[in-house]
Amino acid sequence: MIALSTSVGLLGCDGPPDDSLLDGGPVPDAVSADAVAFDASTGALDAPMSATDAPALSDASASASAVAPRPGLPGELEGDDEIDLRVTPSAPALVRIEAAPDEHVTFFLTFEEGLRTIELEVLRWDGDEAVSLGLTDAGPGLRTLAVFDDSGPRTFWARVTTELPSLDATLTITRVPFEDGPMCFEDCAHLLQMPLPNDPAVDGYTTRSSTVFRYQYGRRDLLMYVRHAGQRVAALGMAPFIPEDFSQWDGLTPGTDVGATRHASHQRGKDVDISLHGLDGQNEWRTYCEPERTSDGRECVPGTITNYDGTANATWFGDIFASGRVTMCFLDRELIPATVTGAEEASLVGELDEDLVPLFDDGVHLQHWPNHDNHIHVRVSESDSIGALSFTGEAAEPVPFEAP
């Protein structure tokens, strides 16, 4: 355990909560949607700017490297494993780590007091400057963000700020071997936080102001499938999608930590909610029909589907279905026929394996459930084998239905 005190100043980044499409729940985290440059002369974050406009932090000899020079940022401290911090408003903590390309790294900050007065931010060296990947400032007792970059060795920083007169906190840095791919064959149930996207245009997924990072913990295999689908989305030039709730950091249903659960399931990292593609080329959390409130929840009025891109959605759904690990997905009944037709169209143009097309209309991979007019709920199996593309090639026992 390492005890650190610090003396570098930096402004935070906040965003308005947007839970209008969620059924209650705690105030979401703040996220940085754009690149934000660190000003070495003042120790502050400037307003969002492009990498080409942002000031460099080092001389030209270091700019081509993904590993920052030393010192990379004013007041940076180096540490790993478990670090005790004392933070004040005038003395934030800025902890530097070097990540290998095969390492998933989680920054997990724990403390006793305070809620929105404590922020954890992660920055990444992009060859010329430190760029903010994300910031979390909500929830009792902890803040958590994760990174993964398989392009090569990379420098990251965790930055902790507070409005409290004094904060004693512990920053735990956990490194776990990780690799991307369409299938998982080892340690697949390991609960990991969805890494912050390094570049949504490459990773194919992004975050928004309502993303609650402590609720973004999923099984290793589910993270792999979502990331693989995102990379496919990006390669096809489609807009990045937005994964929201997986499970809490402890595997429980999101919202358990504040006594207001947001789902009936979402335990143990087997579930995730993801936004949908529209015919306008955008992928946002929004309804794709005229919704109405029923005794069961929010459902589409029959015949009112609009702006829903069945082909685009079927294309990335199929990338996850191909894992053979999906047990069921939930979508409003009005969106399912368009998705089935979209799967057939995607197959005809070579964007979807024709062997996957029957899965869209089997009544299992896509099922109706209220409140799914604006996203799809994906669930993967927790058993050792399932379906024709399973680990062992054996059919699994039927999976009991469980509401989302």
For 89-107, the three-class secondary structure string (H helix, E strand, C coil) is CCECEEEEEEECCCEEEEE
Q: Whole-angstrom Cα distance, residue 366 to residue 374?
A: 14
Reported confidence tier of residue 35, pLDDT bands at 50, 70, 90: very low
**Quick one: pLDDT at residue 364?**
92
Reported confidence tier of residue 187, pLDDT bands at 50, 70, 90: very high
**Quick one: pLDDT at residue 403?**
79
pLDDT tens for each residue of 1-26? 444 443 332 222 322 223 333 333 45
**Quick one: pLDDT at residue 320?**
95
CB atoms closer than 10 angstroms to residue 392: 9
**Quick one: pLDDT at residue 27?**
53
Reported confidence tier of residue 115, pLDDT bands at 50, 70, 90: low
Q: What is the mean pLDDT of residues 237-248?
A: 96
Percentage of the chain with pLDDT > 70? 79
Q: What is the mean pLDDT of residues 135-158?
A: 95
**Quick one: pLDDT at residue 116?**
65
Place of tokens 């993303």: 211
**Quick one: pLDDT at residue 114?**
64
Reported confidence tier of residue 365, pLDDT bands at 50, 70, 90: very high
**Quick one: pLDDT at residue 400?**
73
**Quick one: pLDDT at residue 52?**
28
Of the listed ranges 10-24, 55-69, 94-108, 121-135, the one predicted with least confidence: 10-24
Q: Whole-angstrom Cα distance, residue 116 to residue 290?
A: 36
Q: What is the mean pLDDT of residues 352-358?
A: 94
Q: What is the mean pLDDT of residues 239-252?
A: 96
Q: What is the mean pLDDT of residues 336-355?
A: 96
Q: Whole-angstrom Cα distance, residue 131 to residue 49?
A: 10
pLDDT tens for each residue of 37-74? 333 333 333 333 222 222 233 333 333 588 999 888 88
Please give the domain boundaries of the chain with CATH numbers for all domains: 1-179 (2.60.120.680), 181-404 (3.30.1380)
For residue 235, is pLDDT > 90?
A: yes
Length of the chain: 404
The partner residues of 171 in beta bridges, in order of sequence, read 83, 109
Contact, 255 vs 245, CB < 8 A? no
Q: What is the mean pLDDT of residues 142-168?
A: 95
**Quick one: pLDDT at residue 6?**
38
**Quick one: pLDDT at residue 247?**
97
**Quick one: pLDDT at residue 401?**
78
pLDDT tens for each residue of 263-319? 999 999 999 999 999 999 999 999 999 999 999 999 999 999 999 999 999 999 999
Please state the separation of Cα 110 from the chain's center in Å. Answer: 20
Higher-confidence residue of 26 and 174: namely 174
Q: What is the pTM of this model?
A: 0.83
Contact, 319 vs 229, CB < 8 A? yes
For residue 331, is pLDDT > 70?
A: yes
**Quick one: pLDDT at residue 218?**
98
